[in-house]
Structure 1
């Protein structure tokens, strides 16, 4: 994963030092979406810059521009939901696959077949490559189903985050084509919302621009005029061909975040309140957990257990809220790991396990990029470290591990052992306690471990994991918890 550069502009943490803009938080988190989608860092932000210029040129009013702005930032928020299926069918790393397939013209069946053949079974022997190609060929509805899953999920996330219906609608129809051969519904021409038409052109031009430069990107737009793209919008964007200075500004990755935040429409920017930050953390936990069926509710359950442990130990509301968000986002770095590794049914090779072990590093880099979450980024990233220094990836000794990191370490392992997986049922509490007890005081903080055991044996964790509605309200309600001593009294 290319290294991200934390923004120079200071962000403020709600409840601590001031106010943070909602656009600032979401813009920074788009680097995680780029990682999942296999795009170069800054893809979503550059697409947003292009989309906003197109929107203004097309005469959108301020309300429509506001809906377009957040649709552009969240257009790929459903991208993890199809990663497992794509990787399984194609037999290839999902990020590389998505990046490659985004550049092909689906309407050219010969080119599509050739690109599909090259994308199947990457790194495997010829027999497996042919097998995967035939699997894809025998699934004629594959493209529509994959796009529908992605678009519906992205639209749902925009809705949960409280954005207007036009934002969700723009994401839902972003892959519809002017000629009616797009997906998932086959809308054509003016049937497609204008915001969706703008987004499709903006993101496709950006992908080509990143790979081949301005001239190639605009030539692609011209060739697909009237098939993929709204002819009027193509005429607008091809008119920028000689505006080399503007295109060059897209190359400045360091200033891109600030440039996008400055584009937010409206006289008063939206503020990231505590409630909105919780919603964002929960929404991105859903993105993380959708990456693989092996960990369908892992992040939200880890957050539930971690807040339960911290509350039982008497932590205050501010600490509990940080633990909640750190728990929800601790595995955000897994968005950079291929599903061919995450979903592998057999034992991982040393090389594959080394890739898995990188995810805390990516968690750290992503969260450090988000000003509102930077203060707990190290704590979240340390969830695989141990008191005895034998954890990974940094081998941090116990005296350098924070309280939050120690709580997450216990909650993470407990959830992994008790959760059902496609290859096994979750282990019973007594078995998990026996297994984890061997690492009490070596991997796990003994006081935190004891608090977790009390909650587990009292049935508290089971009740928390039984929450079926994936809403952040349930997690917020956990913040004021009884103390550990009160819990022990209940158990007795």
Structure 2
């Protein structure tokens, strides 16, 4: 192993068996908030609201523990329908998701929402055509979007090792007390109690954030018996009489207060295996954001592992680095699919928003002590050795060897995978493009390791046609 790699490897954090799962999930929930167009801390605030309802109901310690994680992870599937929303509504998916949470299922509100949120930047002909399609097929479209989101979130929760109760709560989040919800049309007590609490908490936070406590209480009261279990509304109203309940909800120390709400008898800690599962689960959330990034994070993690192995990085260090590779693009959850899936060159404003994903990713991972080293990789994987990268314009030795490995893996996958603006580039052509970037974008040792790795791969039976856009490929 080269000296730079050895020096840096000695500073990498290892998994801490006493680390609380609550710290990791509450921090990562901020990525879900971005994807769903909600103000930062939405999921944490929902946890504060929902846990107080659960405690007032006298739930068991086990049920409270499941409720705690269901509330933080309720939006785990929210990235999976983002591209479809952009396509169907010709709209910014994050703005759409934020605004849709402010309406109920009454026809006047739905009509106003569709008119105000459909193809607003398009010409009149496109706008009318899109609205007509929604008017004719709205029910099926709504079911498709909610079903995709709910099932995807529930599946990822189970893969991450959460209980069936947590998974079921995520699946049933959009079910309504009167049977008018989605995706299964369940009604009354057939809906998971945890899901009923989570939906109530979600609406309370959305309206409290938008218009204050009175507006939130008024809205849940209005939907009692339709969207919400009347018994839960009564509990919420009793909690709402306490000024301290709302003061804490809006306070800067809400996250610390939510940590304290995790049932002490069921407090969960994290080992290396669970850290792997969490990183893998959130990689699925990241990659579901766009059809053009399907599998990207996992492939980058695979290429990262192969390059690091070729460079003689120790097993424990490689395991850590694979997690970083899985999460390197977590900041893209905060970028609209209008930009991610645009089939043309981004304009200056869009390019600024796209580049911001590095800083967003670093900010999210920095919230987690055990992921703090990974944060710098998320923040720096678009930096270049010659100083021309972003977001900070780092140069040479300021870029860690771990970041250089992930960067090489990221560029290789970006070139060899299909993108909205071009077809996939053949392996040999991709390596040729990368060779021209050695010393500027790509570390020479990482490149040589990648070449040795690719020599061991089976060649594809036929290679797709080359469409040369190397500048875009290396930076996006």
Tell me the TM-score normalised to structure 2 length.
0.91
Q: Contact 1:101/1:115 (CA < 8 Å) preserved in 2?
A: yes
Find the aligned partners of 2:123 and 2:375 in 1 and give their Cα distance: 40
What corresponds to 2:444 in structure 1? 446
Find the aligned partners of 1:19 and 1:236 in 2 and give their Cα distance: 35
* Paired residue secondary structure (1:158): helix
Is 1:153 the counterpart of 2:146? The answer is no
Q: CA deviation at 1:16?
A: 6.1
* Paired residue secondary structure (2:233): helix
Find the aligned partners of 2:99 and 2:215 in 1 and give their Cα distance: 16
Q: CA deviation at 1:201?
A: 0.6
Q: CA deviation at 1:268?
A: 4.9
Find the aligned partners of 1:250 and 1:122 in 2 and give their Cα distance: 34
What corresponds to 2:267 in structure 1? 269
Unaligned runs of 5+ in 2: 1-11, 461-476
Q: Contact 1:14/1:20 (CA < 8 Å) preserved in 2?
A: no
Correspondence list, 1:419-458, <5 A: 419-421=417-419, 424-458=422-456
How many residues are matched? 448
Could you list the per-position Cα deviations for residues 310-352 of structure 1 after superposition, in whole angstroms to 9, with x for gaps in the alignment? 1110011232122101100110010111101111112221221
Q: Which of 390, 410, 413 does residue 411 from structure 2 map onto?
A: 413
Q: Contact 1:384/1:392 (CA < 8 Å) preserved in 2?
A: yes
* Paired residue secondary structure (1:154): helix
Change (3 A) 1:246 1:135: same
Q: Which of 367, 374, 384 does residue 382 from structure 2 map onto?
A: 384
Change (3 A) 1:16 1:22: closer
What corresponds to 2:9 in structure 1? none
Find the aligned partners of 1:360 and 1:461 in 2 and give their Cα distance: 33
Find the aligned partners of 1:42 and 1:340 in 2 and give their Cα distance: 24
Find the aligned partners of 1:111 and 1:219 in 2 and give their Cα distance: 17
Unaligned runs of 5+ in 1: 1-12, 463-492
What corresponds to 1:105 in structure 2? 104
What corresponds to 1:198 in structure 2? 197
Q: CA deviation at 1:451?
A: 0.6
Q: Contact 2:341/2:420 (CA < 8 Å) preserved in 1?
A: no
Is 1:96 the counterpart of 2:95? The answer is yes
What corresponds to 2:314 in structure 1? 316
Q: CA deviation at 1:454?
A: 1.2
* Paired residue secondary structure (1:182): coil
Correspondence list, 1:17-416, <5 A: 19-106=18-105, 108-140=106-138, 141-253=140-252, 255-416=253-414
Q: CA deviation at 1:91?
A: 1.2
Q: CA deviation at 1:426?
A: 2.2
Change (3 A) 1:460 1:41: farther
* Paired residue secondary structure (2:413): helix
Find the aligned partners of 2:288 and 2:224 in 1 and give their Cα distance: 34
What corresponds to 1:489 in structure 2? none
